[in-house]
Amino acid sequence: MSDDPLATLGRLRAVHPIDLHWSAMVRRSTMVLGRIEAQTVQLVLTHGTVSRRHFEVSWNEATGQHQGRDLGSHNGSRIDGRDIGQGAVPLRDGAVIQLGDVCLVYERMPPGLVEPPASVHEPIPGVAPQIVALRQAMARAAADPAPVLVRGESGTGKGYVAQELHRQSGRRGPLVTIDCSAPRAELERQFLGEPRSRLCEAEGGTLVLDTIGDLPQPLQSMLLRTLEEGRLQPGGAAEAIPLDVRVIATTPPDLERRVGAGGFRRDLYEHLGRWTLQVPPLRERRGDLLLCLQYLHARWLDRRPEHPVDTLTLSAEAAEAVLLYDWPDNLRELDRLVHELATAPHLPRPIPRSRLPNWVRHSDPLLSDARITAEVGPPASLEALRQPAPTREEFIEVFERLEGDVRAMARHFARDRRQIYRWIQSHGLSARQDDGG
């Protein structure tokens, strides 16, 4: 770590109100944040609920951390959902700071990282350090024909990353996705089917192998041979045919454990990991949460042109609750919040905390698990929302309404895709081929 007291170590970024475009680098010197420019105020944040001298950020040499302190402000200061009173409070990476009606997020900054402007229109929106580094790595990987392994928890947006890699690559062929959690017979048809397999359909383009760790071992061997030789021999064909396909594989973070346990071929893992990209979970980039909320709401409106155009403007208390929730299902769960808010009747603007769903509203991570359970019950995860198995009529109605989209059906029924495939087969239906990743 640099001994220069001016060395940049972190960033304060205003994330609410959403149109308050403000950020400031914080260093090892003591810095005061206030509303009015003055000799004793180094960080000027012009907002009516911020005091002239509101908040101090200083460096604690003993702990190697920044710390925050309220300066007797009129509206007070909160860190991670708690009033901080008079003492100094350590700032963890991702700390949520509320000053009046303004919400800030504190982020540790890697040396040399350039801050881009925040845009809701980015294919991978956000300016958190992890997302900036991801986009930079994507730009390097996109132009290279070698395979890419995209790692991340469920719902982090691995499919968006695959789509953007394909777009940036400039490959003229299509983007084709194979869901490796499908039943083995279905996978064999997609890999080796006649007259054209899904691999052949991706000729000149990109093949996305979703949840690659679920691929059966016999097909792992076939895939490795195809990738190494650049040729594919479909079932029943007399000879192999050349194949020009760029492969992107997506996986949860546990693929190495499968390799170590012998469930996934190490040589295939090494081949697929020529480029490895890590997609961070939302809880590790809280500064992008409200930007992602706006992005998903814009996408929600695009799919519903008949719906009145509206904004999901949050109160400061509601924004704080959203920022403090841990989002275990990541973007998928944030998308659920967008849908619930966008379809709620007579919802005032700004949206108060009291009108957020219970699973977000009662999410203060600083409360003990016992107290949360006693007062409001556990947060509603997809597992907790699981319903009994649908009847044939119920399943077919949802299947037709969602046009056989396995991902959407898995979200609707709160089940994994393997279960959805089993139900599809038992009811004599055919899943839609998903090219979106």
Amino acid at 203: E
Distance of CA 178 to the CA centre of its chain: 21
Q: Specify whether 84 is located in the same domain as 202.
A: no
End of a domain among 244, 278, 312? 278
Name the nearest CA neighbour of 341 among 386, 385, 384, 296.
Answer: 296
End of a domain among 75, 108, 141? 108
The pLDDT of residue 415 is 79
Q: How far apart are CA 346 and CA 426, in angstroms?
A: 42
Q: Specify whether 72 is located in the same domain as 160.
A: no
Hey, how many other C-beta atoms are within 10 angstroms of the C-beta on 225?
14
End of a domain among 228, 262, 278? 278
The pLDDT of residue 417 is 82
Q: Which residues pair with 16 in a beta bridge?
A: 103
Would 215 be classed as within a structural domain? yes
Would 80 be classed as within a structural domain? yes
CATH number, domain containing residue 156: 3.40.50.300
Query: For residue 8, what is the DSSP state?
Result: E
Q: Specify whether 24 is located in the same domain as 92.
A: yes
Would 435 be classed as within a structural domain? no
Would 433 be classed as within a structural domain? no
pLDDT digits (tens, 9 = 90+) for 365-422: 544 333 323 333 344 444 444 457 888 888 888 888 787 888 778 877 877 788 888 8
CA angle at residue 14 from 290 to 381, to 5 degrees?
A: 30
Q: Specify whether 274 is located in the same domain as 318.
A: no
Q: Specify whether 204 is located in the same domain as 145.
A: yes
Q: Specify whether 274 is located in the same domain as 149.
A: yes
Structure token pair of residue 311:
């904004």
Would 124 be classed as within a structural domain? no
Q: Specify whether 204 is located in the same domain as 296.
A: no
Would 252 be classed as within a structural domain? yes
Q: How far apart are CA 326 and CA 281, in angstroms?
A: 9
CATH number, domain containing residue 291: 1.10.8.60
The structural domain count of the chain equals 4
Q: How far apart are CA 357 and CA 344, in angstroms?
A: 10
Q: Specify whether 291 is located in the same domain as 213.
A: no
In terms of residue numbers, what domain contains 134? 129-278
Q: Specify whether 297 is located in the same domain as 263.
A: no
Q: How far apart are CA 162 and CA 168, in angstroms?
A: 10
Would 120 be classed as within a structural domain? no
Element (H, E) at 318: helix 316-324
Q: Specify whether 141 is located in the same domain as 262.
A: yes
Q: How far apart are CA 432 and CA 408, in angstroms?
A: 11
The pLDDT of residue 26 is 94
Q: Specify whether 273 is located in the same domain as 143.
A: yes
Would 354 be classed as within a structural domain? yes
Find the largest Cα–Cα distance for the chain.
Answer: 82
pLDDT digits (tens, 9 = 90+) for 244-272: 999 999 999 999 999 999 999 999 999 99
Name, in order, each residue with C-beta under 8 angstroms of 401's C-beta and a sequence gap of 6 or more. Answer: none
Name, in order, each residue with C-beta under 8 angstroms of 286's C-beta and a sequence gap of 6 or more. Answer: 94, 96, 105, 128, 323
CATH number, domain containing residue 51: 2.60.200.20
Complete edge-to-edge strand list for the sheet that includes strand 65-70: 43-44, 31-34, 55-60, 65-70, 89-90
Q: Specify whether 98 is located in the same domain as 187.
A: no
Write out the chain's pLDDT in tens, 437 residues: 455 655 668 999 999 999 999 999 999 999 999 999 999 999 999 999 999 999 999 999 999 999 999 999 999 999 999 999 889 999 999 999 999 999 999 999 987 776 665 555 567 889 999 999 999 999 999 999 999 999 999 999 999 999 999 999 999 999 999 999 999 999 999 998 766 789 999 999 999 999 999 999 999 999 999 999 998 876 656 677 899 999 999 999 999 999 999 999 999 999 999 999 999 999 999 999 999 999 999 999 999 988 888 889 999 999 999 999 999 999 999 999 999 999 999 999 999 999 999 989 866 554 433 332 333 334 444 444 445 788 888 888 888 878 788 877 887 787 778 888 888 888 888 876 554 44
The pLDDT of residue 308 is 85
Name the nearest CA neighbour of 272 among 162, 193, 188, 171.
Answer: 162
